[in-house]
Chains A and B, each alone.
Chain A
């Protein structure tokens, strides 16, 4: 009888690893003495966070004029940063929800990390529209709550209101999903805790989880439900963000390709951010046996695929601008590629379309320094994509008499840098105090691989 030989699957956990080894290597990070390098990194990102607070304080006490926004460029760094950060978050939900539904088991080592990234990125994102409104203390007017002119309600026909609902729902559901996944691991930390403070803090946070079979049954159902709910949610969020642009009549914004194009771009940039952070974390904390080259290579493949979708979208936009015969649309795109912001456009094309093509080569895909550099360049490119979409469309629209230019002020630049500080500070706190790999899920995967 002929036998069909199947290539052996690369294991997702390397070496002879027992269940207790998983607990030790993941929980051990949280329990060990704080490394000096962590303090150094924290001092740096903490300083950047203070810069952010200073910039926002200056903004609120002085006025929106400290930013470079003007007429006609009313949306600039603030909305660029908003779309950039919200896009970063999408990889986390993709990994935790969509890959879960598709039974992609390689997700288990990276989902906790990516979900944390989602929450911190959405936190950074939400800050920008809040301060963009100019009077953040009145931002609650966006919610359907009675305000001082009782009887006045938000205009639900506006995409900007849809955005408020989409982003706040996204943040809340991501937080719930993350916490749900953390419960069993918090119980592990509680049971291993030596000091009284740790026992109390992790004890309260784990809500008395004890891993009863009756509990796991409801828990797994809740997890499946949240994965099923988060999947359409994540697609809706960036679609709705793209409606902010697509529903307007501005050339360069008013296109039907925006929702899928934005979602693909979001996943692209999010995966790039996961890779950038993960290669540092796995090296620093010695997690190479749990986050293997296979995980990294799979993420690089996702980047290659979504990068191609993004490149395709850039091409189709140009084609439609020509094919539509609309002179304003044609101008908007010629102006993007050849106008005063051409440098930004070509930075975007180089970083998002050309550079990821290197991932066709296995050698590049499996080289840690190469993927680190490429993932950073992708993030630069994706930031410029939003900048190009927003600023080049706004600065020259229908009437040449109303054309203008946007130049960022030092406040704009420091606020952007500060948002990275906040993001990285939250991340450092996460890797210090919470298990960055889902221990219960890795153990379940190991048990099922053993049984298979």
Chain B
């Protein structure tokens, strides 16, 4: 019992000492604060000081190299998906990224390297490469195969709608088209065209009675209790997803707000499950003209701007067809209690954040820390052990001990489950 209380006291002293060290006190100053425990604390405090000194910032070259690699992977993803030989966009993505990654120095990072390599030459891929003539033949064959398979797939994808397997290919093509915009102005124009094309796809799919998840962006033109019209599309937005009307709900969405929507199409209706402010990082609000602001739910057609590349210029644009329920409650329009704000590029990030911050926002932060989609998380994050009041937090699970090197004093109480 005494040993346990001694351990707890020692731990409390160590926590205090670490706090002092973090505040900028020197090791000696920290130890002088508690002379009785100084000798016991010294190894841990010196270790903490060494840890703090060990972390180093990356060099500019490292940041640049990583950024370039990421952008190469992004471009490969867009280009690979645009001429995808597969109907599954996710496998296309993975293949493109893997290919891009294998062309980068980091591909060698998971392989054993000679210790001296780092001082002699930059890390390089260690895969065995075919002789150049053979590589050329392979490259040509791959190019022909991509043409033979990719072109028909791309053509088929141009007519795909949300819910189709090829719709991801169509979206990737749009992404590539956006990514290759020559300049900010062209990017803005293309972005607006892509936004309109997405909404047109949603409208067509809804008219066809499809069930699928969709992602699009637009401007709130009008709203009712649980409904709003977003650039011509009528969307059911449950109150746990979003609320409207600045006068009723400070910080809530209002007419004129530019938003991203994730929604589920079901039986001719769009039900939102996520609604986010579209912060303006230089992208314009959609160019769709607002429909009648205070009408009942009679969505206006979603026109697609004329841009080269598809029926409306966007890769894989489909015709705009109105599609929305006709029996929904009346909407509040531009004259509603909400903030009437024109949907223009004047919507700055600061404005969007500031005007809404009072409402608080929550995007999936329930899965804090460790949400690993890479499939490697072994579930050892202890999320249930957050006992308040300084009790044991269950942080040291027995299974985490490695090879018995964690000696007994290490996990004091940590192995005990509440």
**Are A and B co-members of a single complex?**
no
B-to-A contact residues, CB < 8 Å: none
